[in-house]
Structure 1
Amino acid sequence: KNQDKRFFPEKLVEGTARVISMRMDYAKDKSNSLAPMEDRDTAYIARYARGRDYHKLMRKRL
């Protein structure tokens, strides 16, 4: 999706020379997230989808 803008960020914002990338833990729950997947008859919700929108959390922390 938007591959041209990923490879050429100046197409997204004119004059862009560099992109700074970062990572940040956003999930406080450090429990064993693989445990629910051991039971093939049980559905599970991905950990990132259980809490608040991580985009908003990270934006606040920046």
Structure 2
Amino acid sequence: MANLSVFYLILLITAVSMILCLRKKRAIYLTIPVFSILLYFIVQVAMVPAPFMDTVRFIFSLV
């Protein structure tokens, strides 16, 4: 259930940033959804009980 609410929050952030981009005619507002997804990813990685750098190494070793 929490994942669905995060999905809707990211959709809302994207919609608001697109509206701002079209009204203000500045493309910089389109970076807001990218940074919000990046922030969400960092928070989710930080919530893993293992040390942060070990978790990051593990994630990138899966590739």
Normalising by structure 1, we get a TM-score of 0.30
Higher Rg of the two aligned structures: 1
Higher fraction of helix: 2
Normalising by structure 2, we get a TM-score of 0.30
